[in-house]
A and B are shown apart, each in its own frame.
Chain A
Amino acid sequence: MAELSNDDVRKVASLARLKLSDAEIEHFAEQLDGVLSYVHVLDELDVSNVEPMAHAVDVSNVLRDDATRPSLPRDEALANAPKTDGRYFLVPQILENA
């Protein structure tokens, strides 16, 4: 049973900024469908009596006060940079006429 339509693959490809031909869409829909069917083997297990577990230890959100504290001195933060102007990291220009 095909669970993944060609449109699903088209959408995933567009989200990933991939340009696929119709033939490739067809090809990958079949392959991804195979992957999903393989994982569906797990559906055969009866886990109705198993409590879901996401972590070995009970954990909840970790919050802290939004307070200022000492941070790395600027010269130490810049020490590893190949190029700085003493205040900022300098990186090669990637936009023309910027």
Chain B
Amino acid sequence: MELSGATASQLLEAMSSGATTAVEVTQTHLDAISSRDESVGAFLSVDAEGALAKAAEVDQKRAAGEPLGPLAGLPVAVKDNICTQGTSTTCASRMLENFVPPYNAHIVERLNAVDAVIIGKTNLDEFAMGSSTENSALKVTRNPWDLERTPGGSSGGSAAAVSASLVPFSIGSDTGGSIRQPASFCGVVGMKPTYGRVSRYGLVAFASSLDQIGPFANDVTGAALLLEALAGHDSRDSTSIDCPVPAYSQSVDQPLEGLRVGVVQEYLGEGTDDDVR
């Protein structure tokens, strides 16, 4: 099986069956970043050492028969406006170019708790204010499908990283479309969870009453698996909702019959490309 480009569930299966290891999965994705990210520009920083150490820890736990988290050994990329203790969090701004957070965001703690492997931090429009990832002070991210085009934004780095098969899934933040729009531009799955579903603790705020952290993935099940890990109550965000987290990944095959989907027709009016419409 080709590891780079595989879905989260395929990778989990391959690791649990012994067909591959977390270290091999992580190394393959690090190699993909080395060979392809120069042209895409999805990442602002890559923590190869930290990622391989975490992957080795997962492999050791598995070998010892110790319990593993549900995302054990899966490489994940995190938007660079989410605090990671000990590694830079720039918000793609020169102002925070040298900022190294002294604490982890809630969702970073969650990713560590479920044994995911944080592989690096992704580019964004400065402080998430933009829709093309060209307004980053540090670099421009390009759309992997056509390097002359924008990946959308502001979570363009996270969307492009999944689209270019540099990671099976990634984390973005959405205030007014910053996950949904780049997901659409890059042809990957992305969703903005209900406000309050995911703790904003450690997310550098853009508009606090609208910001929400959410997943990108190369398939719906991957996004569901990631959201299961991110979601849940956190008392450090007073707008975080205290209600149970459903097993989203168990219901992705549920038929859509009977559901009504609202479409705002005005959004698809004049000026929208036929291919998009």
Contacts and interface: CB of A to CB of B under 8 A. Distances in A.
Contact of A57 (B103, B194, B235): B194
Nearest to B235: A64
Nearest to B196: A57
Nearest to A72: B102
Interface residues of A, number: 11
B195 A79 contact: no
A75 to B, nearest CB: 9
Contact of B195 (A55, A62, A64, A76): A55
A57 B243 CA distance: 9
Contacts of B241: 57, 59
Contacts, number: 25
B235 A80 contact: no
Contacts of A59: 196, 239, 241
B254 to A, nearest CB: 20
Interface string A56-94: 110100101000000010001101100000000000000
Contacts of A77: 102
B113 interface: no
Contacts of A55: 195-196
A59 B242 CA distance: 9
Interface residues of B, number: 13
Contact of B102 (A56, A57, A62, A79): A79
B100 A79 contact: yes
B103 to A, nearest CB: 7
A56 B195 contact: yes
A55 to B, nearest CB: 7
A62 B196 CA distance: 13
Nearest to A80: B99
A56 B239 CA distance: 12
Contacts of A76: 102
B238 interface: yes
Contacts of B239: 59, 62
Given A57-B194, A57-B241, A64-B235, A80 B103 contact: no
A62 B238 contact: yes
B186 to A, nearest CB: 27
Interface string A16-44: 00000000000000000000000000000
A55 B194 CA distance: 9
A77 B99 CA distance: 12
A62 B194 CA distance: 18
Interface in B98-132: 98-100, 102-103
Contacts of B99: 80
Nearest to A76: B102
21 contacts: A55-B196, A56-B195, A56-B196, A57-B194, A57-B196, A57-B241, A57-B243, A59-B196, A59-B239, A59-B241, A62-B238, A62-B239, A64-B235, A72-B102, A72-B103, A77-B102, A79-B100, A79-B102, A80-B98, A80-B100, A80-B102
